[in-house]
Structure 1
């Protein structure tokens, strides 16, 4: 986690430290992440850690921002990929289900739970969450607009309205993945979401 250059003071690899802290916050939540575990996982002493990042809260903000940056890049890659609108929306929801039911099951989506748990207490978390939703909304809005122009999707609603409706359904699905960790249930829910957006109603394979 540390690097040094001859003749210069030792420096920290900020990205590696924030990634290690992100893993702790993702697993434990903000309140559950102890200073001791953050130090152990980052490889820094408490003084060095807080001198570099200011406080546990500021380190959490950095970790949450990094998590969201990685998440939006992965989701945008799916939504901007090849295939029909329906195929790309299905791929995004399959990606979410795979994460929620995969080896990291129980951790869920750090961005979603940060918004639910911290946004009302921490204005910076609320702002980070707002920016994240806006970025995902922009990618979805473009996709829905493309689908409407091609005739794949109806034009009864605006692309923006459809994008916002899908964001609500998508994150509702992610919450359900925590309380209903049943792949068949979540696939049925996915099929229903796709049908409601006029993107096909056939069952998922």
Structure 2
């Protein structure tokens, strides 16, 4: 069994030296403006975000939108932390699938970055659980209880993670959002992997970390 302990939200992350605040898109349609050709990037494994957004648009309309986005020739980079760092360095002007906590951490360190949520905003849960055959089940249970406690959630907040507990306030979720339905991965994963691969990876398989 497992339970959510923190969330990550997909937002636009951008380099403030390369993109003026008034230029930042306010909708997904705005990303299709010709001025963004070659200036956008997407993280290579964000299939669930793709599926959730396409379904929210209406599947047919959503897939048509993503075909247009793919025609913008976005840069494809692997790893959300690396992609955020490339925004900070200026290699990527704008990251379409940034985790806002990654951008916020870089911003607090003085990097020229900022983030903006554009609706509909989707979040993704990370979870903690107990291994069925743990060699130290009692220690594992104690650790899990700590992570899910108010103190543990405050620790996560302190390192710019978004706590799952409603008892711990976070500045990183102050916008309308919804969570990605895990059934997408369980019931439709192969279908969306194939579509994503054809659109953005040149038909290559999605390579996720084990």
Same fold (TM over 0.5): no
TM-score band w.r.t. shorter chain? under 0.3
Greater strand fraction, Structure 1 or Structure 2: 2
TM-score normalised to the size of structure 1? 0.27
Choose between structure 1 and 2: higher helix proportion.
1
Whose relative contact order is higher, 1 or 2, with alpha carbons under 8 Å and at least 6 apart?
A: 2
What TM-score, normalized to structure 2? 0.27
